[in-house]
Chains A and B, each alone.
Chain A
Amino acid sequence: MENKAATKSATPSHGDEHAHGHGPGRYFVIWFILLGFTALTVWTGHMDLGAANLPIAITIATIKATLVVLFFMHLSEAHGSNRLVFVVSIIFVVVMMLGVFGDLLTRNPMSLPSGAPSFDVSPESHMAPHE
């Protein structure tokens, strides 16, 4: 069994690191921070900040999500491959959004529901950017 104990400390094992590593305190801290950001987002959500409302809400949500992923889900201590998987997933979601959103913003107004905002960049269109 001596051999096995030697093995466990020789090769990195998450269980051993944590058992001798940080205490539960960091979970409490993250929890309070998350609650704080929740209060912040509810407060700023109520205010009328015009076009800034959405980016602020997304930013706060992203910060909260990052905290959960890094500390509650331990991605800050995980193998590189796990981190890569998560990051690549997010990248593809962003690509999906960008591709579709780019379409929405620049479509010919005839292909959009009435009243939808558009900014038609096609050369033959005579329509000025409008809301």
Chain B
Amino acid sequence: MSSSEAHAIDPHEEHAHNPHLAHHFDTIEKQDHAIRLGMWLFLGTEVLLFAGLFLGYTVYRHFYHHTWHEASRTLDLGLGALNTVVLITSSFTVAMAYYFIKKGKAGPCAAMLVVTIMFALVFLVVKSIEYRHKFQEGALPGQFYHFREVPGPGANLFYTVYFLATGLHAFHVIVGMSILIWVLVRVLKGHFSPSYYIPVELGGLYWHLVDLVWIFLFPLLYLI
């Protein structure tokens, strides 16, 4: 049968006993490895997706260094820092959710997921406050730009990159939140246990990616 396995377990028996094991995988370990590898590949694609926007940032910051320095000052550093703390903490809470479900503690896991989702909401609310400020000031991308305080070439491009980057990021926050809500529902329904918790792990990984992107966006947009 499977000559590469060190033990004499019968794959058919494992399929019969483990409802989560798909027919084309021999063991649950292989299947879990496959799922994790698939997830990391997907995270790789997300990294490359945001890379394009970071590239745009690099190019235009280089061209318009001084104007961008002034434009960055018009962003609300307090709110930006708050959002950073919020996301980092939410990464912590989702890591704790994963820790709890591995121990079979569905209750604390669900609590941690709820906290994470709350933090995500806070992030979005703060972001929308910031956006509203910018709309009122006229600090908008491209042709809509009419912000007198920062004149000069390249200023509109700062806000272009700002809105595109934070917009794409916010979209991912919403997607991540939705995933976590779905995972939370399944935790509450008792789907997970120490022997099966991989959806919680994957949801957490996606959320950490959202945090990672912001860890770079924050200094580049607010602190230059």
User: Which residues of A line the B interface, CB within 8 A?
Assistant: 3-4, 6-7, 10-15, 18-19, 24, 27-28, 30-31, 34-35, 38, 41-42, 45-46, 53-54, 57-58, 60-61, 64-65, 68-69, 71-73, 78-79, 81-82, 85-86, 88-90, 92-93, 96-97, 100-101, 104-105, 112-117
Enumerate chain B residues within 8 angstroms of A45, measured Cβ to Cβ.
77, 219, 222-224
Enumerate chain A residues within 8 angstroms of B204, measured Cβ to Cβ.
72-73
Number of residues on chain B facing chain A (CB within 8 A): 61
Number of A-B contacts (CB under 8 A): 163
Enumerate chain A residues within 8 angstroms of B40, measured Cβ to Cβ.
78, 81-82, 85-86
19 contacts between A and B (CB under 8 A): A4-B14, A4-B17, A11-B5, A12-B29, A14-B32, A15-B194, A15-B195, A28-B92, A34-B88, A38-B81, A38-B84, A45-B224, A78-B36, A89-B43, A96-B55, A97-B58, A104-B63, A115-B63, A115-B64
A13 to B18, CA, bound (A): 15
The A interface is mostly helix, strand or loop, or mixed, namely helix
A27: min CB distance to chain B, Å:
5
Question: Judging by beta carbons under 8 Å apart, are A89 and B58 in contact?
Answer: no
B79: min CB distance to chain A, Å:
12
Question: Judging by beta carbons under 8 Å apart, are A114 and B153 in contact?
Answer: yes
A69 to B43, CA, bound (A): 11
Question: Judging by beta carbons under 8 Å apart, are B88 and A96 in contact?
Answer: no
User: Which residues of B line the A interface, CB within 8 A?
Assistant: 5-9, 13-14, 17, 27, 29, 32-33, 36-37, 40-41, 43-44, 47-48, 51, 54-55, 58-59, 62-65, 77, 81, 84-85, 88-89, 91-92, 94-96, 99, 102-103, 153-154, 194-195, 197, 204-205, 208, 211-212, 215-216, 218-220, 222-224
A40: min CB distance to chain B, Å:
11
A113 to B108, CA, bound (A): 56
When A35-B85, A82-B40 are in contact, do A57 and B7 touch as well, CB less than 8 Å?
Answer: no
Nearest residue, chain A, Cβ from B47: A89
A74 to B95, CA, bound (A): 9
A130: min CB distance to chain B, Å:
14
When A3-B9, A82-B40, A97-B55 are in contact, do A13 and B29 touch as well, CB less than 8 Å?
Answer: yes
